[in-house]
Amino acid sequence: MQLSSSAFSGGSAIPRRFTCDGEDLSPPIDWKAAPSTTRSFAFLCDDPDAPAGKWHHWAVYDIDADQTGLAEGAGHDGGMARFKQAINDFRRVGYGGPCPPRGHGRHRYHFRLLALSVDHLSLGAKPSCREVEREARRHVIAEATLVGIYQR
């Protein structure tokens, strides 16, 4: 399975417009070559370099198996999307862009796609990103990661 973005390549800088210093939009994400047994996807974004431990920026789940990406700005969709979003560590539903502490150096942002063996995750009405990740990991059949860099 392959994961990519037209906004940045793996290991490169995430453009400002997708961060808290810009428009805070979720970047466009595309994927291909998912296993034929995929029943749904989950998509996660986190910062493992955060001072207090892994910071969850976004979790999307119950993505239809026939989808091949997330459009730019999908993390701020007003409920019209074909997927669900969790509460991030900024305490809001949807995407919260990279926003490391000033002067803390380069942070890696892991964008992860999980191909799942179930149609829907068993979660409450307003799960956290951590809850989505924990439940999704029980059903993973394939995973792809794209890493972007940002510093302030």
Rounded to 5°, angle at Cα 91 from 137 and 46: 40
Measure the CA–CA gap between 1 and 144, rounded to whole angstroms: 6
CA dist., res. 70 & res. 101, Å (int): 27
The answer as to whether 100 is a domain residue is yes
- 132 in a structural domain: no
Which residue type occupies 103? G
Per-residue CA distances from 144 to 2, 6, 33, 89, 114 (Å): 6, 16, 10, 22, 7
Is 115 within a domain?
A: yes
Q: Which residues in the chain belong to E strands, given as ranges? A: 2-4, 29-32, 40-47, 55-64, 69-70, 84-85, 107-116, 140-150
pTM, two decimals, is 0.95
Phi, psi values for residue 93, rounded to 5°: -75, 135
Query: Domains in the chain: how many in total?
Result: 1
Q: Is residue 64 part of a domain?
A: yes
Query: pLDDT value at position 76?
Result: 86
Beta bridge partners of 124: none
Tell me the torsion sign for CA atoms 67, 73, 76, 80.
Answer: negative
Residue numbers of the chain with a pLDDT score lower than 50: none
pLDDT of residue 79: 57
Residue 59 domain flag: yes
> Which tokens hold the place of 140?
């993973």
Question: 60-72: per-residue pLDDT in tens?
Answer: 999 999 999 999 9
Terminus-to-terminus CA distance in the chain, angstroms? 32
CATH code at position 120: 3.90.280.10
Q: Please tell me the predicted confidence (pLDDT) of residue 80.
A: 59
Angstrom distance (rounded) from CA 117 to CA 141:
6
Residue 20, domain extent:
2-73+81-127+137-150
- Give the Cα separation of 126 and 86 in Å (integer): 6
